[in-house]
Amino acid sequence: MIEAKQLRKTFNKGKVVAVDEVSFLAMDGQITGLLGPNGAGKTTTMRMLYTLLSPDSGSMRIDGIDPAAEPLKVKRALGVVPDSRGLYDRLTARENIRYYGKLQGLDEARIEERIEYFARVLDMGGFIDRKTDGFSQGQRVKVAIARALIHDPRTVLLDEPSNGLDVMTTRALRGFLNELKREGRCVVLSTHIMQEVAALCDRIVIIAKGRVAAQGTAQELIEQSGQANLEDAFVKLIGSDEGLLA
Ligand SMILES: Nc1ncnc2c1ncn2[C@@H]1O[C@H](COP(=O)(O)OP(=O)(O)OP(=O)(O)O)[C@@H](O)[C@H]1O
């Protein structure tokens, strides 16, 4: 479970307020979506959760652990698929994943077992032993996911996971995220695509201009906004449709 309380992050000596008093809960066994237009503060929020950035103020707990106090413990509890997929291009997909397994302290037998698992469920058999230089977006995302989840973390953060993916790969990714949910994991993803949250997310946290504009289930958001459907609810709640429509 993730608890974020009044997180705030500014840049450029306080001139850019990227995240302003953001609070939300993301539960185990659910997919929570951070939805907002470009520049809303989603990536900055995610980066604070996975300890790449420290908040100016506010607090968070991941399975009760404070990342500021115990960053290494949090890193072990989390699987992170960041916005830049950053693979080592001179290594094969398998070697990229194996390297992360070693960083997580897994033994070789366990690493190979996990790689075989991901090659099967993410359909990577055709390219697992190819160098990642020249990989398509979809292939890169699959390697990034396998790498992030090699140590079987309970909480999974994905920043814009379906960016650049075609329809078939997006569908496969959704199936995989639903499987993580069924296993009882806490899955949090950020996106600016409302169809994505409508199809996948149990709870939606709408972020606009660094603040939480609304949060709840799709049905609750529709009721809060007094609109007839989710799309109109989003537009009403953030006060604009700029950057939101895919
Ligand atoms: N390192 C930084 N230095 C200065 N400004 C930053 C930095 N990182 C983020 N920002 C600013 O903070 C705001 C929020 O950015 P962020 O990347 O969190 O948004 P986002 O919701 O993830 O957007 P997108 O959908 O475009 O990725 C933006 O105005 C951005 O320019």
Query: Which pLDDT belongs to residue 237?
Result: 87
How far is it, in rounded angstroms, from Cα 205 to Cα 32? Answer: 7
> Which amino acid belongs to residue 208?
A
How far is it, in rounded angstroms, from Cα 170 to Cα 200? Answer: 11
Q: Given a cut of 70, is residue 241 above it in pLDDT?
A: no
Q: What is the CATH number of the domain that holds 63?
A: 3.40.50.300
Mutation choice for ligand 1 from 20, 44, 83, CB with most ligand atoms inside 8 A: 44
Confidence at 244, pLDDT banded by 50, 70, 90: low
Confidence at 205, pLDDT banded by 50, 70, 90: very high
Q: Which of 91, 121, 6, 100 is nearest to 56 (CA)?
A: 6
DSSP-derived secondary structure for 74-104: HHHHEEEE-SS----TTSBHHHHHHHHHHHT
- Report pLDDT digits (tens) over 215-230: 999 999 999 999 988 8
Strands 186-191 and 203-208: unpaired
- Report pLDDT digits (tens) over 92-145: 999 999 999 999 999 999 999 999 999 998 889 999 999 999 999 889 999 999
Residue 10 belongs to a domain: yes
Residue 58 belongs to a domain: yes
> Which amino acid belongs to residue 35?
L
Mean pLDDT of 67-76: 88
Query: Which pLDDT belongs to residue 200?
Result: 93
Q: Given a cut of 90, is residue 195 above it in pLDDT?
A: no
* Predicted ipTM of the assembly: 0.96
How far is it, in rounded angstroms, from Cα 73 to Cα 232? Answer: 41
- Report pLDDT digits (tens) over 18-56: 999 999 999 999 999 999 988 999 999 999 998 899 999
Confidence at 184, pLDDT banded by 50, 70, 90: very high
Expressed as residue numbers, the domain containing 56 is: 2-238
Q: Which atom of ligand 1 is nearest to the CA of 207?
A: 21
Number of domains in the chain: 1
Task: Using the mean position of ligand 1's atoms as its centre, give its distance from the Cα of residue 83 in Å.
Answer: 12
Nearest CA to ligand 1 atom 6: 11
Q: Strand, helix or coil at 22? A: strand
Report yes or no: 210 and 22 within 8 Å, Cβ to Cβ: yes
Residue 198 belongs to a domain: yes
40 Cβ inside 6 Å of ligand 1: yes
| pTM of the shown model | 0.91
Mean pLDDT of 239-243: 64
Residue 195 belongs to a domain: yes
Give CA torsion, residues 202, 207, 211, 215, to 10 deg.
Answer: -20
Query: Which pLDDT belongs to residue 34?
Result: 96
Residue 243 belongs to a domain: no
Q: Strand, helix or coil at 71? A: helix
Residue 79 belongs to a domain: yes
Query: What distances in angstroms separate CA 148 from CA 15, 53, 80, 95, 157, one per listed residue?
Result: 33, 18, 5, 14, 9
Residue 245 belongs to a domain: no
Residue 246 belongs to a domain: no
